A and B are shown apart, each in its own frame.
Chain A
Amino acid sequence: AQSVTQPDIHITVSEGASLELRCNYSYGATPYLFWYVQSPGQGLQLLLKYFSGDTLVQGIKGFEAEFKRSQSSFNLRKPSVHWSDAAEYFCAVGNQAGTALIFGKGTTLSVSS
């Protein structure tokens, strides 16, 4: 069965430090992968997506993610975190029917000054 695992429930990073949020997926074929961000009290916003091609994808707000098929991973990175990046981050994979997304349980990012 398809699934998405985000191993880190909560991460704290100092402002200006680099960030990596982990995501592992279970999927039989080529996955369609997404990262969404949710600010407190808000809905979700798409950061970036991977369908095919270049395994390093660029997104909004300075985020990038790298698809590694051999590790079944799609980790999200940012070289320098800003206080406004504090939010909950969700990794998701498209289901095989192409009808919906399967979300991970999320990683909460806190940014310390």
Chain B
Amino acid sequence: QKEVEQNSGPLSVPEGAIASLNCTYSDRGSQSFFWYRQYSGKSPELIMFIYSNGDKEDGRFTAQLNKASQYVSLLIRDSQPSDSATYLCASVGGATNKLIFGTGTLLAVQP
């Protein structure tokens, strides 16, 4: 079982819609969770991090964490074509204290 799992997609949403990206993790000791956006050929850029159960909002982005279900999600409201990218979920802490990435979900926002 992979430590961090994501659906590879592609996830296609129309412009203006809400995009919902999901991630599950296997290490219950994981402490912090990150969402990164990566454009092709570029390094990942941090969108949000979350370490407490519940929701965390920043502009059009909302991260949700449910430690009981070992589930992290990212909602993007009012999706724009410029949001089209690969979204990487990552966790750190737990048994290894390593920053581990999921395989990423490709999001395509259709104009």
Please indicate whether A and B come from the same complex rather than being unrelated chains. no
Q: Measuring CB to CB, which residues of chain B are less than 8 angstroms from any residue of chain A? A: none
